[in-house]
Copies of this chain bind each other. A is one copy, B any other.
Amino acid sequence: MFPAMRSTPPREAAPATTPAASLVFTTLLSHGPLTRAEIGRRTMLSAAAVTKAVRPLMEVGYLVEGADDGARPALGRPANPVRVDAGRALFIGIKVTGDEIIAVLADLCCRIRVARHVRLTARGPQAVLPRITALVQELLTEADGFGVRVRGLGIAVSGDVDRTRGVVRYSPFLEWRDIALAEIVETATGLPVTVDNDVRALTVAEQWFGAGVGLSHFALVTVGAGIGCGLVVHGRVVSGAHGVAGEIGHLSIDPLGPPCHCGNNGCVEAIAADPAILREVRKATGKPVHTAAEALALAHEGDPGVRDVYARAGEAIGRAIGSVVNVLGPERVIISGEGLAAYDLFAEGIRDALAASAFGAAAQCDVMTRPLPFEEWARGAAATAIQSFIGSDTY
């Protein structure tokens, strides 16, 4: 209906041509194998529309009729479940941090096939971009081994990213400003490139392939070096009018709390992010603790001061989640991030603070945790590439 945003390169063989086809495809991606009748019920499409949407997708091989091996209702004509052929297409997802690049090769169902990471010594675009293209080439040759083409590349970067234009407006960690990343990498690699904020990319992965499947309102909270939050409202990822959203790390929880690098006092990030926890642990123990793992070990040894630091951090996170819950009323909050390793220490604080701050029915919100392997961020980037490939209007 609308002309393509960027014209190069041509998206040959876009799988879904009509809105209905797109809808059917995304439904199948998220909800495993389904019979055509079931697809019709879920998408509110007529049976005829489903048939007409499925056929061309099966002809080009993105969908296959596959065994559901689930319990059948034993009455009426047996159903023929349809599923996405995960191996029919590959995607590359890349996450760029201040000191490393993580890259994965993922299939159409966003399962990781190959993972790579390289350390970075310099973070300027001139230094990083060649490393990205080299890594992409490496994964492209890997993909040849599967005999399947790579159909898209997603790149996740922290900071202010304009996905529709493919531009990194400002990334504090990388010290990048106004880099037309999608365009550059597209010309360098020949792949369709999608660029997005890292937390949003992770949120997309959860929305389509994770704990957010089927929910139109949820929040994804990441705990680690920073505290972030991805939001899905009305079934769409929230980007904010100025590219900033979900900045719960800088909610000020306590006006008398420790100063934050943002200039404010008592930000969640100044209490519960890794650097803040390390600082407090050093203060409590007097020991030169320099990694999250060391701090965690001390806590697990039972050091009461250290445990107290984690308890306070958990409380701050819980209150931040409480703010999100009160403001948006999501159906579910997914907690993830490297900091999840300390979840047992956070848990009580989070639960209590959330219970205290959630107002009324907002407290019915379901809170769950999800482990975050280090490739997960890159997988999120791959998910954005898959999303672009499908041509979903969810974005």
**Which chain A residues have a beta carbon within 8 Å of chain B's beta carbons?**
2, 44, 160, 170, 215-217, 229, 231, 233-234, 236, 238-256, 262-264, 319, 322-324, 326-331, 356-357, 359-362, 364-365
25 contacts across the A-B interface (CB closer than 8 A) = A160-B361, A170-B361, A215-B241, A216-B241, A233-B238, A240-B328, A241-B329, A242-B329, A243-B329, A243-B361, A244-B329, A244-B360, A247-B359, A247-B360, A247-B362, A248-B327, A251-B322, A251-B327, A252-B356, A262-B359, A263-B356, A264-B357, A323-B323, A327-B327, A327-B328
Closest residue of chain B to A366, judged by CB? B241
Main secondary structure of the interface of A (DSSP, over half): loop
Q: How far is the CB of A218 from chain B (nearest CB, A)?
A: 8
Q: Is the CB of B245 within 8 A of A329?
A: yes
User: A241 to chain B: which residues have CB within 8 Å?
Assistant: 215-217, 329-331, 365
User: A329 to chain B: which residues have CB within 8 Å?
Assistant: 238-245, 247
Q: How far is the CB of A30 from chain B (nearest CB, A)?
A: 18
User: A238 to chain B: which residues have CB within 8 Å?
Assistant: 233-234, 328-329
Q: How far is the CB of A313 from chain B (nearest CB, A)?
A: 15
Assembly CA distance A25 to B378 (angstroms)? 44
Assembly CA distance A170 to B262 (angstroms)? 40
User: A322 to chain B: which residues have CB within 8 Å?
Assistant: 251-252
Q: Is the CB of B357 within 8 A of A244?
A: no
Q: How far is the CB of A44 from chain B (nearest CB, A)?
A: 7
Q: Is the CB of B327 within 8 A of A247?
A: yes
Q: How far is the CB of A244 from chain B (nearest CB, A)?
A: 4
Q: Is the CB of B247 within 8 A of A326?
A: yes
Taking A233-B233, A357-B264 as contacts, is the C-beta distance between A362 and B240 under 8 angstroms?
A: yes
Q: Is the CB of B245 within 8 A of A328?
A: yes
Q: Which of B2, B44, B330, B357 contacts A252 (CB 8 A)?
A: B357
User: A242 to chain B: which residues have CB within 8 Å?
Assistant: 329, 331, 361-362, 364-365
Q: Is the CB of A2 within 8 A of B160?
A: no
Q: Which of B236, B330, B364 contacts A234 (CB 8 A)?
A: B236
Q: How far is the CB of A10 from chain B (nearest CB, A)?
A: 23
Taking A2-B44, A264-B357 as contacts, is the C-beta distance between A327 and B234 under 8 angstroms?
A: no
Q: How far is the CB of A25 from chain B (nearest CB, A)?
A: 20
User: A243 to chain B: which residues have CB within 8 Å?
Assistant: 329, 361
Q: Is the CB of A357 within 8 A of B254?
A: no
Assembly CA distance A360 to B2 (angstroms)? 32
Closest residue of chain B to A246, judged by CB? B327
Q: How far is the CB of A210 from chain B (nearest CB, A)?
A: 17
Assembly CA distance A322 to B252 (angstroms)? 9
Q: How far is the CB of A352 from chain B (nearest CB, A)?
A: 12
Assembly CA distance A252 to B357 (angstroms)? 7
Q: How far is the CB of A366 from chain B (nearest CB, A)?
A: 9
Q: Is the CB of B2 within 8 A of A248?
A: no
Q: How far is the CB of A59 from chain B (nearest CB, A)?
A: 28
Known: A238-B329, A243-B361, A244-B326. 13 other contacts (CB 8 A): A217-B241, A229-B327, A238-B328, A241-B329, A244-B362, A247-B329, A247-B359, A248-B326, A250-B359, A256-B256, A262-B359, A263-B356, A264-B356
Taking A361-B244, A362-B244 as contacts, is the C-beta distance between A251 and B326 under 8 angstroms?
A: yes
